[in-house]
Structures are given as C-alpha cells and as structure tokens.
Amino acid sequence: MSSLTVTDEQVSATPAKVIQPAWVRVMHWINALAMVLMILSGWQIYNASPLFGFSFPRDYTLGGWLGGGLLWHFAAMWLLMINGLAYLVTGFATGRFRKKLLPITPSGVLHDVRAALTFKLGHDDLSVYNYVQRTLYAGIILVGVLIVLSGLGMWKPVQLHWLVMLFGDYPTARYVHFFCMAAICAFLVIHVALALLVPKSLRAMIIGR
Amino acid sequence: MAKRSFLIPGVDKRLLIKDSIKTMPDVTRRRFIAGGASLGALTLLAGCDVIDSSSAEEMLKSVSKFNDAVQAFIFNPDVLAPTFPESAITKPFPFNAYYDLDDAPEVDGKDWKLEVRGLVDNKKSWTLDELYKLPQVTQITRHICVEGWSAIGSWTGTPLRDFLKLIGADTRAKYVWFQCADKDGYNSPLDMRTALHPQTQMTFKYAGEILPRAYGFPMKIRVPTKLGFKNPKYVVSMEVTNDYKGGYWEDQGYNSFSGS
C-alpha cells in the first residue's frame, strides 16, 4: 500500500496529472453526440409548426420530414437522458460538482468576465475552473435539466401533467423547451470557440491530460 | 407542414410511395429518411452498418416500437386529461388534415351507417339517429397535434367504452381499428386500454352543435390521451381485433402509440 503515498519526485516524474477523469470524457462525448442529434431533429420538428416567424434551414435538420425527425428525437432522447442522469449522479457522488463548480461568487464572476474580455484570463491550471467556466458549466447543467423536464412534459402532457403545470401549461412548456435549446446552442458556440482558443483543454477532454 | 398532396388521382398514395422508395437509388433513400445534415450525423454513430440507410431506419423503427411499450407501461387508465372552462376554448378551432378543407369528405348523414366488425357480439350497423339516442357527455380538452401546436375544444358524444359494452365487444382484444371516409382511406388503430379510457369519446357535436364537416361529420373519435392524428374523423367503421392493422400516418413512421 506504499504506492498510495505519492512523493514530489513521483509527481514530477509522471507526464502530467489527469485533468479530466475517464468517466467525464466518455459522458462528455456521448452528451455531445446526443445533443447534436436532439438539436438537429428538434429543428425538424420545430419546422412543422414554427413558434416564430422563421424556420431552420432544411440542410441543418435531421430525419427528412416531421416523422423522421420525431423518430430521431425520441431515439436520441434515451441517450441524452440516461447519459445525463449518470453524469448527474456521478457528479454529485464523487463530489466533482462541489469541488469544480463551487463556489460561484458575484465578485469572482465579475472579475473573471472582465479578465476574459481583455484576454487576461489565465489557464495555467486546467484542473481549476475559473468563475466564467463555473458559471457556464453550472448554468448549462441547469438548462439541461430544464430542457429534459419540459420535453418530458410535452411528450406526456396527460400522464405527467404535474410536470407541465411546473411550466404553467403545454404551450408554455413548448416555449421553455425552445429557449433552452437556444441557450444550449449559444453555449455550444462559446464553448467550442473557447476550447479552440485553449487547445490543451480540448486535448484534456480527449486523452485526459 | 406535414400536409401531403394527392400525387396521381386514383392511385393509392401510400402504395405509390412505398413502391417508389424501393426504386430510389440508395443515396436518395438514405436522404429520404435521414435527410440533410444526417449523413454527417450518421457517420458519428460509428460502425459502418449505420451508414447504410436501411440499418438506420431499422434502428429507429425498433426504438419506436420500444417507445410504444414504454408508453403503454406509463399509461395509467385512471389519469384524466386536464379539462378547461369554456372561456379557454380556442376560437376558431383549427381545421387540420393532409388535404384542404375543400377536399374534406362530404358525408350524407341520412345514408351513413357506422359499420361494426370483428370481435363483437352484435355486428349490426348503426344509423346516425340510433347513435344520437345514446347518452352523451361533453368534454373541454386540449387537442395536441404531432406538429407541436395545440388547441382547446369542446366535444360532445358517447364514451366509446359504453358503446363497446353495448355491442358486446371483447375488451380483451388488443385494438379497435377505425376506418374513415377521407380520401386515400384514412385509418388508425387504438389500443384497447385507451379505447376504454373514460374520456375516449364517439363525438357527434362540436361546441354544442352537430359536428361540422371540417371537424369530422358525422362522427369523430376524440381521444384526449393521444396526439391529434390518433383522433380519426369521418369514421365509417370500427373493428375490434387482435391484429395490428397499421394506420395512415403510423405506416409512414409516426409512433404508433403516440400517447399524451
């Protein structure tokens, strides 16, 4: 059991410490796939009866027509829900959420947003999230919970009526579902742009180090 | 919109589509079901088999069947669809079909008879006058379309379960299958547990008036625990059966249970 005690020499001898554990990486990429499938099929479904005065370009929809979009949406939802649930349980059980995402203080967020906008936000230690990251990651988890709950409510507005009531009524749940999608798309743009700006963070999400 | 136009007069559209899919080149077939950005998404699914359109189609169909089973499991026959006050009724209530209102069936109420077939004791056909004499109830519920929009309406008619009892239907059978007067022959299967749900109704009136042509004269089946396309209009026959006979939209890929 002596290997449990790690000396400074051993630490510096290892190439780099694991920044993203394997379960985070696996679930992250499953979620990425599920999200893309859900968004593209969701746009197909939206186009059948648009909430606003626009439709999504056909080339960025999945399924070919409403029926195909629905088949994709209600297949990928299992991937999204099971993976998401496993992520939440593991995140709480391992204490990762608490260690990585908390605390989030207004002054910390303000400071880091200002630093980020002037490109002064350092990324020396990828294992510690700055306040911008904490806010975005915690926020997107909440949006993820909300989009699944509003989606389940729309899927089963009679059997899960209490879930619909949480949002007011069925049409409101539809709007909530749409705006959560919009928030996720906005997050995706920022998230991908930042990952490309700091390539070692992308590497850490692929190989862990 | 999911509206489809009649391709060639006198030709069964569904058979035509089925035949033409078979003759489509592979790439076209793939795009037909997967469409647009799907090819990229499909490759993401890993495994060369998935690229093949029929495998993707088969996978989606299996999941849809699995979803039928999940929904049947979730379905609680005692849970009622929410009801609303008259003030909540959507005006005007939208006409919706895969054809224009001008093409909606014009059924002569005097000649019309509801045919009853399959696993029932009494297979006699019913005239409209006979049906109007049955006890009726009114419900104000939300109609939810597979397209996402919804509207609240007021429907009056006889609970289907009362009628099934009256004709001595074998309620252990799996489905009640409805056929309609719509062009191209609309039809749709209803699982027996939903058919026996207290709010599932043989509807003869909308907003207190005899069902207008737009909403399915002479008879519509109102099922507030199902999506709109599982609420057939212009019904001409019902069959109590253990066989899954498919449906107009179900055969084209809409989830068959489609419960709310």
The H-or-E segment that residue B155 falls in is strand B150-159
Give the single-character DSSP code of A5: S
- Assess whether pLDDT exceeds 80 at residue B109: yes
Residue A15: band (very low, low, confident or very high) from pLDDT cuts 50, 70, 90: low
Name the nearest CA neighbour of B214 among B112, B105, B127, B128: B105
B191, B258, A164, B161 alpha-carbon torsion, rounded to 10°: -20
B21, B25, B30, B32 alpha-carbon torsion, rounded to 10°: -40
> Which chain A positions have a beta carbon within 8 Å of B147's beta carbon?
45, 48-49, 66
pLDDT in tens, B166-194: 999 999 999 999 999 998 899 999 999 99
- Assess whether pLDDT exceeds 70 at residue B226: yes
> Which chain A positions have a beta carbon within 8 Å of B253's beta carbon?
67-68, 70-71
Tokens matching residue B181: 């007067």
Residues of chain B that touch chain A, judged by Cβ-Cβ distance less than 8 Å: 1-2, 31-38, 41, 44-45, 59-61, 63-64, 67, 71, 74-76, 79-82, 142, 144-150, 224-225, 249, 252-255, 259-260
- Where b means 16+ CB within 10 Å and e means fewer, B125-145 reads ebebeebbeeebeebbbbbbb
Is residue B136 within 8 A of residue B205, CB to CB? The reply is yes
A67·B81 Cβ contact <8 A: no
Region A115-130 average pLDDT: 84
Q: What is the pLDDT of residue B44?
A: 46
Residue contacts between A and B (CB atoms, under 8 Å): 114
- Assess whether pLDDT exceeds 70 at residue A205: yes
A63 touches chain B (CB under 8 A): yes
Name the nearest CA neighbour of B191 among B177, B204, B202: B177
Q: What is the 3-state secondary structure (H, E, C) of A197-209?
A: HCHHHHHHHHHCC
Q: Does domain B86-252 have CATH number 3.90.420.10?
A: yes
pLDDT in tens, B234-248: 999 999 999 999 999
Q: What is the pLDDT of residue A19?
A: 87
- Assess whether pLDDT exceeds 90 at residue B48: no
Minimum distance, in Å, between the CA of residue A124 and any CA atom of chain B:
32
- Assess whether pLDDT exceeds 90 at residue B8: no
Region A81-94 average pLDDT: 97
B133 vs B39 pLDDT, higher one? B133
B2·A68 Cβ contact <8 A: no
Is residue A100 within 8 A of residue A134, CB to CB? The reply is yes
CA–CA gap between residue B237 and residue B180 (Å, rounded): 7
State the average pLDDT for chain A.
91
A159·B144 Cβ contact <8 A: no
Region B48-52 average pLDDT: 48
Q: How many CB atoms lie within 10 A of CB B244?
A: 13
Q: How many CB atoms lie within 10 A of CB A3?
A: 6
Bridge partners, residue B240, by sequence = B118, B176
CA–CA gap between residue B226 and residue B190 (Å, rounded): 9
- Where b means 16+ CB within 10 Å and e means fewer, B48-70 reads eeeeebeebbeebeebbeebbee
A71 touches chain B (CB under 8 A): yes
Domain positions in chain B: 13-74, 86-252
